[in-house]
Every structure is written in structure tokens, then in C-alpha cells.
Structure 1
Amino acid sequence: MSALGALTRRLGRHRWFGTAMRLLVPADRAIGRLTRGRVVALGLVPSLVITTTGRRSGKPRSNPLLYVPDGDGYVVIGSNWGQAQQPAWALNLLALPEAEVDVAGRRMPVRAELATGAERDRLWRLLVEEWPAYQAYVERAGGREIRIFRLVPAERGTPGAPGTAH
């Protein structure tokens, strides 16, 4: 891990850091598009771009997210930097779990599985190991449940998979 990455992980628990990062999300999206997904989150943490379907609009919505690899899948968390409200992308996944991710320039369809019970506990430990600030986000979220999703590769052509008729 680079010195800048280590510093980012230490600063991540502060409220001001989350506010600053929310303001940088549009720039991060632009950098991700320009680099075709190879650089997201300024390259400081393992990141992917998830494209969900808007639960109200039906339009594609893309968001950069920190992830942790887990077997053939990717683990993401709806922390919203510790804000009281759920992030829109997490609500979109609850409504329609099919999505696409772009990881290091490789785009693939995925299906989101909401983690519960012992599996959620296991994935939480992986996430906190990668980004210790998640502990502070739970406190800041004021008791709201922070959802954890495991994104598993979906077969193209399966019903409901992105890029297929349904």
C-alpha cells in the first residue's frame, strides 16, 4: 500500500473526509470514464464502478465504490460515507439486483446478494480490514442498517441479466 493510500485510510473515519469525497464523486466518475475504469477513487483503494437500474427512472446509474474481492465476487457496502440515508445505488439493487460492474477496465454483469447473518459478519470483517473507517460510518449513520452486498458474476443471456431482453 502506498503512503498516500495509508493516509487516506487513516483520514477516512473523519466526517469532513466523507463530505469532501462526496464532492469529488463527479470528478471520480469522469476519471473512471476517461481511463475506461482503470482508475477509480483516484487509485487509492480497490474500486469498481457499479451500474444499477434506477428503481424509479429505469435509467442506468453509475457509481464508483470501494470493494473487497471475495472468491469470484465483489463485496460492496451501502455506507454512504456514514450519512443517515441509504445510497440510491443500494436501494436500486434491492429493487432490481441485476447490475454491471467495471473492475480495472473489465465490464461484466453481476447479481447482487444481500448479506445477512454469519455471512454478513464475515464480509463486514473483510470490509473493515480494507477500510477501517466503516466502523465510524456505522456510528455516524445513527443506527440505520448499513447493507452489505456480494456481487456475483451473472451469465449473459440469463433472465434479468443486463444486456438481455426481459
Structure 2
Amino acid sequence: MGAAGAVRAKGAAAVLRCVQRVSATRAFAGVAPHVVPALDRAVHRLTRGRVLPSARLLPGVVLTSTGARSGRPRRTPLACMPEPDGGGWILVGSNFGRPGHPAWTHNLLAHPHASISRRGEDIPVTARLLTGGERAAVWRELLAFWPPYAVYQERVEREIRVFRLTRAPRGPRL
């Protein structure tokens, strides 16, 4: 890497640290749930799934799940941690460190068959809630991936839900 590349990398690391600090604040938790998903949904729709603004900072997907009560499709833009082997994605129900579990986690518990849109590709997935030692191991990886998750967990009394999404065979959805 040349000098210009090193400067860009240092600048990107500084921006990332700044974003992590801001995203761990209560003010961000109050505003972000209303602004970030709406912006992501609009841009994702306009670009036919090719662009997700929040994914400029963290990898992201748009989850389409079945409403736990309504049975209707629900689209939710979410940050994700892609698994290193490329076989799945980890989703965190942090709700920006707010008290309740996000609705999409209830949906996946009731209806684990879903789909994600990632970089313009629709991928059928099956979701599984992680518990016990498996959750603990993934949680350590998540904290290295995005340290503000630790702040979110400290703020709430509930255990933040963590899901593993794996590719499901293509075919008709139920």
C-alpha cells in the first residue's frame, strides 16, 4: 500500500471510531431507529436492492420476514455480520440499546423461514436463535466486529437476541 492508501486507511479507521462512539450514545438510540431504516428502505427500493446506505459502515441486509401476528411480509434493513465461510449471516436484535426486543426478532421466532436482500440478490434463509455457549462465542465475535453492542447490552435488562441465518434451499415459500 502506498502513502496515499495508508492515509485513506487511517482516515477510514478514524471515521469508523467516531461513528462507533456516536452510535453508542443515547441520543443516537433515540433518533436512529426513526431515520436509518426509513432512509435504507427508500434507497434500497429506488436502486432495486443494489444500495443500502447504512451498509457503507457495516455490512447490511434487508430482511423480509413474516409478521408474527399479521402474517404479512415485513421488510427491515439490518446490519449483519457475515460469517467467514460465506455460509450465513449473524443478526443482532440490539434495537439500538432500547428496552424492548425489535419486532423483527418476534417475527423470526414465529416464522424462521425468511429471505434477505444483499447487494441486489434475494436469498432464502432460515433463522435460528442462538443460545448458551453458542451465543456466547458469537457474542464475543460481535463485540470485536462492532464494539457498541457492549454498550447496548449494558443499557438494557433483556438479553439481546442473536440469530444465525443460513441459506435455505430455493423453492416455494410457505
User: TM-score normalized by structure 2?
Assistant: 0.85
Q: Which structure has the greater CA radius of gyration?
A: 2
Where do residues 1-150 of structure 1 align in structure 2 (5 Å cutoff)? 2=12, 3-24=14-35, 25-40=37-52, 41=54, 43-70=56-83, 71=85, 72-141=87-156, 143-150=157-164
Structure with a larger share of its residues in helix: 2
Secondary structure of the corresponding residue to residue 152 of structure 1: strand
CA contact (8 A) 2:108 2:127 kept: yes
* Cα distance in 1 for residues equivalent to 2:82 and 2:32: 22
CA contact (8 A) 1:4 1:44 kept: no
**Percent identity between the two aligned chains:** 44
Secondary structure of the corresponding residue to residue 20 of structure 2: helix
CA contact (8 A) 1:37 1:48 kept: no
Partner amino acid for 1:61?
R
CA contact (8 A) 2:55 2:79 kept: no
Give the unaligned 5+ runs of structure 2: 1-8
Cα deviation, residue 110, structure 1: 0.2
| Structure 1 residues 68-106: Cα deviation after superposition (integer angstroms, max 9, x where no partner) | 111300001111111111100000000010110011111
Where do residues 145-160 of structure 1 align in structure 2 (5 Å cutoff)? 145-157=159-171
Partner amino acid for 1:109?
P
The runs of at least 4 aligned residues of structure 1 exceeding 6 Å deviation read none
* Cα distance in 1 for residues equivalent to 2:58 and 2:18: 11
Query: 1:31–1:4: structure 2 CA closer, same or farther, 3 Å change rule?
Result: farther
Partner amino acid for 2:143?
V
Give the unaligned 5+ runs of structure 1: 158-162
Partner amino acid for 1:26?
A
CA contact (8 A) 1:68 1:74 kept: yes
Quote the RMSD (CA, aligned, Å).
1.6
* Cα distance in 1 for residues equivalent to 2:44 and 2:57: 13
